[in-house]
Chain A
Amino acid sequence: MSMRDIFPESTIPTVVFDRATWPSLLELSACEVFDIMLCTRLRAYESAANIKEGEFTALVGLAGSLCGVLSIRCCNQAARTMAGKMLGMPPEDVDSDSLDALGEIANMIAGNFKGKLSGVGNHCMLSVPTIIVGNDYETRSMSGGKSIETVFTFENNPLWLTLELHD
């Protein structure tokens, strides 16, 4: 089934927004998810963090009136701590749930973000999350779209949140 089967062309609205507000909406979306589900306040990463590190990356695709990929990347310790906070258990007791938790967080941030874009929610679908394990990879957008990236501090670990949009 293609996106055109799901959203006939005539029903897909052209997204005309002031994209200047999107970085702050993306940050707000992430902060709300961490605040509500993990009872944790995210802070901006204070030092330069140009080199992405962290062996876990969760990806959620967006398709429809808004097309792109949202990703969140962090280290093993941060992912375990997230899962522990979600489940109410010490990070050292978390097993494979850390990957599941990271995927669910990415899913909630993507859903929360698109919900803040008036008119987009009804015409944009999310994929189920995909998890990449490993450091040695890079992604390349094939459509030349824009990218929004924010680096947070979560429990003293950097957390990269990226939204790559297709034009």
Chain B
Amino acid sequence: MSQIRALIVDDSSVMRKIVERSLRQAGLDLSSVIEAGNGAEALGLLDSNAVDLILSDINMPVMDGLEFVRQVQTVDKLRNVPVVMITTEGSESNVVKALSLGARGYIRKPFTPDQVKEHVLPVLGL
């Protein structure tokens, strides 16, 4: 499995650490992990950091995850980077909206490492 550069976007630092641990438990070889506390901060990091995978919460201050996904899709170099939402906002309408904006997957909190594996590996073609 090739090395993966991941961006984790969540306003909870604890959740960012849990997501990173779950990715490693899923068997991903993470060469780098960068973290952001909201969508705006994440877009700033993406200006100067290339990533292969983005995992994002929805309910965040400053810029929420749905707006973040929408803006990612407007940037040519980011359009093909898979985005997987990890959120408590697991209503059907949010799932549909996130997927329509360009998200490739959706994980509801609380989640198990197996669920992360199940939803993340396919979007990476693994």
Contact = CB atoms under 8 A, between A and B. Distances in A.
A69 interface: no
B80 interface: no
B1 interface: no
A104 interface: yes
User: Which one of B18, B88, B90, B112 has the highest number of Cβ atoms from chain A below 10 Å of its Cβ?
Assistant: B88
Given A37-B18, A104-B15, A32 B110 contact: yes
> What are the 10 tightest A-B residue pairs by CB atom distance, in nearest-first order?
A111-B88, A121-B91, A36-B110, A122-B93, A104-B12, A101-B14, A122-B91, A37-B110, A100-B14, A33-B110
Interface of A: 32-33, 36-37, 83, 86-88, 97, 100-101, 103-104, 107-108, 110-112, 114-115, 121-122, 124-128
Contacts of A124: 91
B90 A121 contact: yes
22 contacts: A32-B110, A33-B110, A36-B111, A36-B112, A37-B109, A87-B17, A100-B13, A100-B14, A103-B12, A104-B14, A104-B15, A108-B110, A110-B88, A111-B88, A111-B90, A111-B108, A112-B109, A112-B110, A114-B91, A121-B92, A122-B92, A128-B11
User: Which one of B18, B110, B111 has the highest number of Cβ atoms from chain A below 10 Å of its Cβ?
Assistant: B110
A83 B110 contact: no
Given A86-B18, A100-B12, A100-B13, 18 more contacts: A37-B110, A87-B14, A87-B18, A97-B13, A101-B12, A103-B12, A107-B12, A107-B59, A108-B110, A111-B87, A112-B110, A114-B91, A121-B93, A122-B92, A125-B89, A126-B59, A126-B88, A128-B61
A136 to B, nearest CB: 27
Interface residues of B, number: 24
A128 B13 CA distance: 13
B79 interface: no
A99 B109 CA distance: 18
Contacts of A111: 87-90, 108-109
Contacts of B21: 88
Nearest to B111: A36
Contacts of B110: 32-33, 36-37, 108, 112
A86 B13 CA distance: 11
Interface in B1-56: 11-15, 17-18, 21
B60 interface: yes
Contacts of B18: 37, 86-87
A8 to B, nearest CB: 14
Contacts of A125: 59, 89
